[in-house]
Amino acid sequence: MQVVGSFLQTRIVEVDLGLNTASAVATRVIQSQPGVSEVILNNPVVRFHTDLHHAESCNLNLEAQLQEELSDQQRPLLQPSSRPSSSANMRAEIPIAPCEDAVIATPSGTVRVRPYVSAGKELKTFLQFKPRFSSFDRENNRSQPDEFRGFFTLFWIGLALLFVRTCIESWEANGTLLSPNFAQLITADGVALAFADFIMVSSMLLCVPFVKCLQKGYFKYHWTGIIIQHVFQTTFLGVAIAWGYARNWYWVQAGFLVLHAMSSMMKMHSYMSHNGMLANVNARLIKEKETLHEYLNSLPGGHEAALAEADQRKSELEVREVSAPRISEPATPVSTPTPPQIRITDDDGTVVSETIARLGLNGDAKKKGSEVRRRVRSSKPATDALPSPQSGLPRGTSLEPAHTTSPHAKRVPTLLAWSSDPKIALLARNIDAMSDELCSNGARGLVWPQNVTYKHFIEFMFFPTLVYQLEYPRTSTIRPLFVLEKVFATFGTFSLIYAVTEHYIMPYSPKPGDNLIQTFAQLAIPMIVNFLLIFYIIFECVCTGFAELSYFADREFYQDWWNSTSWDEFSRKWNKPVHTFLLRHVYASSRSGLRLGRWGATFFTFLLSALCHELVMAVVSKKIRPYLFLMQMIQLPMIMIGRLPAVKRNRTLGNIIFWAGLMLGFPLLEICYLRF
C-alpha cells in the first residue's frame, strides 16, 4: 500500500515538528492550499483536512510544504512524481502496511501520514443540488453576457429558414406543408402506448410499501431488501421491453417506452436504495438506544444518576472554560487577509487558546503594517471533551448531495454525552450522530421516515432528477409565462426535428446497393442537427418545464459540453441527471461495495452504461449488434489518450477531435444498424 501526500489516497496528514515550526508550516498550508478546510495544532501536531476534489487541483504534498523542515538525509524518502521536477509538482510516496501510520523522523520531530477513508466524501463536490439556472435561460447572469450569444440567435433563425424552405418544397411536390409519412409511423398505436406508459408509471408507486416494510422491520435491506428491489426493477424493465416486441412497434414507440422505463427504473433504484440506507441507520439507532437503556438500568441509580453525574461533569468543564487562559495574537497588518483559524491544545486535549494564522510568520512579514489588531478567543473544553462517535456507523443524509450546499445544523449533544463513563458517553454520541443522519438537509427539516408517503414519492416522480434525497432546493412561485414559453419551444423544436427527420434523414437512409460514402456525407449534417435539437427539447424544454411546474430550483441539467476536449468531459457535462446517477449509484457503490479501485469502478460504470445503450438499440433496431457498445467502450482508451499532457495542452485540437467524433458516430451507427 502507498499513501500519497497529494491526498489522492490520503485525507489526513499529521506533522509533529515543534510548536514554532509547526505554526509556520500550518500557516503556509492554509494560505497556499484552497482545499484545506481545517488546520489543527495539537501539542504541536499539525493536521490538514482536505477533500479529493481540491486535492487534485491544489496538489497538497509533503515535499512542497515541509522541505525546509526535513533534514537532508530524510529528503530521499520524498520521491518525485512523473511530472516535471519542480517542488510544486513533488509528492510523497511512502510504502506502509495497511492501517498503519507512516512516520518520518526529523531533527525537530516526526512527520506522520495517516490513511483515512470517508465514504462518499470524494463525490460531494460533484453531487450538489442548489438553485441554478440552465445555460440557455434568459435569467442566467453567467451566460447572458456571453459575447457569442448572437450565434445562438443566428442558429435558430437559420433553422427557421430551413423549415420554411422545406415546407415550400413539400407543398410544391406533394401539396402538403410537411410529408405525413413519418407522422403516420410515430402516431400508430398511440392509445396502446399511452396505456402501457400509464400502467408502468403507476407501478412505480410500489416503492412506497417496500420502504414502509423496511421501516416496520418486516425484513432488512441487506440482503432481503436488495434482492426484492432488483427483482422488481428487472421485471419492470423486462415487461416494458417485452410489451414493445409483442406490439411490434415502430422504433419511435418502442424506443420511447424503453427509455422511459429505464429512467423510471433509475428513479426507483435511487429512492429504494437511499431509503434502505436510512432504514439501516434507523435500525442501528434503535439498537443503540436499547443498549444504552439496558446499561443505564444495570447501574446503581439508573438513568437519573447517570444524568446527574453527566450534568455535574459538564458544569465543571464549563467552569474550566471560563477560567481557561487567554492569549493575544501577534500583530496583523490590516491589509493582510485573515486566513482560517488554528487551534492550539494541551496534552490532555483541552484547548489552551485559539489564534488566527497569517501568511508569512517570518521576521520580515511581522514588521509589515502599521495598524495592529489584537483578538482574544476563549477555549471550549466542554465541547472538546466529548468523545467522537464510533467509526463505522451507518451513514444517511450526510451522503446526500445537499449536505455540501444546505447542511442541517447538528443537534446539541445530549447530556449523557458528558458522562465520565466511556460506554455511556460513546453510546450517547452514537445516538446523536445517527439521529443527525436521519435529518434532511434543507429548510423543511424532514426526519426519516416522515418522507415515506405517497405524496412525497409522487413529488419525486415529477422532479427532473434521477437521484433521490429527502429535500431539494425549491422555488417559491410558478411563472406562467415561462411555462408557456417552454410549451411553445417544445412544439416548435419538435416541428424542426420532424422536418429534418422526414426530409433529410429518412430519404437518405442506407439501402442495399447505395454508396456508403455518399450516404455518410448526406446524413452527417442532418443527424448532428437532430442531435442538438433533441438535446435542447429534452433538457431545456421538458426538464426545465417540469422543474418550473414542480418548484424544482436546480436547473443545471447540463453544462458547456459543446466546449469538451475529451470524451470523459462530454460524458460528465451533456447529461447531468444520468451522470449524477451513475456517479452516485454505480461508480461510488462499486468502489465501496465491490472494493474496486478508481479505474476498475470507471470501467464498470462505462460497461454498464454501454450495455444499457446497446439494449436500447436492440429494442429500436430489433437486432442485436454490438456497434454502439463497442463505440462506447472505445471511449476508455480515448479518455486515457486525452489525458496525455500533449493533448491536454491543445484544447482546440481536443475540441476538434470531439466534434469530429460526434459527426462521424451518428451516421456510422445508422449505416451499421440498417445495413449490417
Please, what is the average pLDDT of the chain? 77
Question: Which H or E run contains 598?
Answer: helix 598-621
Cell of 393: 456507523
- The number of residues making up the chain comes to 676
Torsion angle of C-alpha atoms 268, 273, 279, 283, degrees rounded to 10: 150
Alpha helices by DSSP H, 540-595: 543-549, 567-573, 576-581, 588-592
**Whose CA is closest to 530, among 562, 487, 564, 498?**
498
The angle subtended at Cα 659 by Cα 655 and Cα 662, nearest 5°, is 145
Residue 56 DSSP SS3: helix
State the amino acid at position 457 in one-letter form.
F
Lowest mean pLDDT among 69-73, 215-219, 326-330: 69-73
Q: Residue 116: is its pLDDT beyond 70?
A: no
pLDDT digits (tens, 9 = 90+) for 316-356: 888 877 766 554 444 444 444 443 333 333 333 333 333 32
Asked whether the beta carbons of 13 and 121 are under 8 A apart, the reply is: no
Section 227-256 average pLDDT: 94
Task: Please provide residue 609's backbone torsions phi and psi, each rounded to the nearest 5 degrees.
Answer: -65, -45
3-state helix, strand, coil in the chain (%, to 5): 60, 10, 35
Residue 162, classified by CB atoms within 10 Å of its CB into exposed (0-12), middle (13-18) or buried (19+), is middle
Q: Where are the alpha helices (DSSP H) in 323-450?
A: 363-366, 381-384, 422-437
DSSP 476: S
Which pLDDT score, from 0 to 100, does residue 279 have?
A: 97
Report the pLDDT averaged over residues 547-573. 92
Backbone angles phi, psi at 411, to 5 degrees: -70, 155
For residues 585 and 270, is the Cβ–Cβ distance under 8 A? yes
Question: What does the alpha-carbon distance between residue 44 and residue 38 come to, in Å, rounded to a whole number?
Answer: 15
pLDDT of residue 148: 83
**Of the candidates 121, 8, 1, the residue with the CA atom closest to the CA atom of residue 57:** 8
Distance, in Å, from the CA atom of 586 to the CA atom of 580, rounded to the nearest integer, reads 10
pLDDT-based confidence at 650, cuts 50/70/90? confident
Cα–Cα separations (whole angstroms), residue 74 to 103, 105, 143: 11, 8, 51
Three-state secondary structure of 336-373: CCCCCEEEEECCCCCEEEEEECCCCCCHHHHCCCCCCC
Give the residue-averaged pLDDT of 593-617.
91
Task: Give residue 324's pLDDT.
Answer: 60
38-41 and 341-345: which strand pairing? parallel
pLDDT band at 15; cut points 50, 70, 90: very low
More confident call, 495 vs 140: 495
Q: Which residue has the higher pLDDT, 369 or 517?
A: 517
Beta-carbon contacts of residue 593 (< 8 Å; ≥ 6 apart): none
**Grid cell in block for residue 635:** 471511449
Per-residue pLDDT tens digits for 502-546: 999 999 988 888 888 999 999 999 999 999 999 999 999 999 999
Mean pLDDT across the stretch 146-169?
A: 91
For 113-123, what is the mean pLDDT? 41
Going by the DSSP 8-state scheme, the letter that residue 565 receives in this structure is S
SS3 label, residue 113: strand
- Least confident segment among 199-213, 247-261, 398-412, 487-501: 398-412
Burial 84-95 (b: 16+ CB within 10 A, else e): eeeeebbbbbbe
Question: What angle separates helix 516-535 from helix 480-500, to the nearest 10 degrees?
Answer: 170
- Percent of the chain at pLDDT > 90 equals 46
CB 634 within 8 A of CB 479: no
Contact 36, 30 (CB under 8 A): yes
Phi then psi for residue 573, to 5 deg, are -100, -30
Q: pLDDT tier at 371 (50, 70, 90 boundaries)?
A: very low
Global pTM?
Answer: 0.74
Average pLDDT over residues 355-377: 36
Residue 477, classified by CB atoms within 10 Å of its CB into exposed (0-12), middle (13-18) or buried (19+), is: exposed
Please report, in angstroms and rounded to a whole number, the separation of the first and last CA atoms in the chain. 49
The pLDDT value given to residue 427: 95
Name, in order, each residue with C-beta under 8 angstroms of 163's C-beta and a sequence gap of 6 or more: 495, 496, 499
Across 395-411, average pLDDT: 77
Beta bridge partners of 345: 351
Give dist(CA 42, CA 346) in Å, integer.
7
Write down the pLDDT at residue 370: 37
Confidence of residue 177 (pLDDT cuts 50, 70, 90): confident
- Label residue 53 by pLDDT band (50, 70, 90): very low
Region 29-40: what's the mean pLDDT? 44
